[in-house]
Amino acid sequence: MKEVSGKARGGVARMEGTTAKERRALATKAAAARWGNDIKSVAHGDDDHPLRIGEIEIPCYVLDDETRVLSQRGVVVGGLGIQYGGGSVRDGADRLTSFLQGKILSPFVSNELLALVQNPIKFRSPGGLAHGYPATILADICDVVLNARSAGKLQAQQMHIAERCEILVRGFARVGIIALVDEATGFQYARTRNSLARILEAFVTKELQPWVKTFPDEFYAQLFRLRGLKYDSDSVKRPQYFGTLTNDIVWKRIAPGVLTELKRVIPKDASGRRKATLAQALTRNIGYPKLREHLGATVAYMTVSPDYPTFIKTLDAHRPRFHDQLELPFEYKPDEDDGKGL
């Protein structure tokens, strides 16, 4: 070996006089100085508790700012089954980038997804500096691959990736991936206690707003149609059970805990009526706009659905209830649903 000289000689001598434990501590301190203060650390999760979907395993973590991440190698190799060379960070990012930018998949890839792939998240893990991606990126990549397969664009050597993507999308929905990561890391038991309170504070106002018409006529026209009922545009009378349907279709799906909080803020009186509509308790800057956006999407799903079960299935897929369990398939018997009740 080439003999060291100058300041390097002092470094070598210093290392020879330290224990293995002391050398690890020095390396950790040097790494912290090199990484700076902008890189987050793992708060929950380790390599021994990966996200498991079928036989697929992907290391996952929750960072100290509550960002849920999947390891870069876990996404590329473990999740998608794509192999790459020596294992460097750039190998992973470049391999996934070239895969998505190829002429076959590029028409299906958004600029936002490509930017996330090209800029993996750096974070401190027990094993040192690590790189990963936001947990939801895996669902987005699977959408790209499966859309390309549906269009008949995939090559034969890429079909195994599509098969893995199909396994993955069957194992989680885009919203459910957060819950899966929290369960795998144990973070579900240590979430910030006031996280739900912050959501409710953003959505529910302390003072009721003046009444304005919020639910469009088309919402009720489509709901009557899907339930097999005749709609009278000149009447404001609705079947009593429409309130239960609206809670399920709208209020349980705009944010976690909002329906319960709105009912608390606007309780029923002795006659069983509320002194104001639930929408009047929404904040103007967050809650009300979110409600209008949700109603717009919901009416669109209604319009393209031939019947109520199809509509609910579509709504569950794209705008699931918060903190709801996935339902097992059941046999729907339209001849037993007369639209007059639940």
Q: Is 1 exposed, middle or buried (0-12, 13-18, 19+ CB in 10 A)?
A: exposed
Q: Check residue 37 and give its pLDDT.
A: 55
Two tokens, residue 286: 């967050």
Query: Exposed, middle or buried: residue 325 (CB in 10 Å: 0-12, 13-18, 19+)?
Result: exposed
Cross-strand pairs, 219: none
Do the Cβ atoms of 145 and 104 come closer than 8 Å? no
Q: Please give the pLDDT value at position 4.
A: 41
The 3-state DSSP class for residue 61 equals strand
State which residues of the chain have pLDDT below 70. Answer: 1-37, 84-93, 172-178, 180, 188-197, 323-342
Task: Report the pLDDT value the prediction gives residue 89, as an integer from 0 to 100.
Answer: 44
Distance between CA atoms of residues 150 and 160, nearest Å: 14
Give the pLDDT score at 313. 93
Identify the pLDDT of residue 189.
Answer: 65
- Closest to 315 in 3D by CA, of 328, 300, 330, 329: 300
Contacts of 105 (CB under 8 A, 6+ apart): 99, 144, 145, 148, 153
pLDDT at residue 308, as a whole number: 95
CA dihedral 214, 217, 222, 225 (to 10 degrees): 140
Is-contact 211 276, C-beta < 8 A? yes
For residues 73 and 89, what is the distance between their CA atoms, to the nearest angstrom? 9
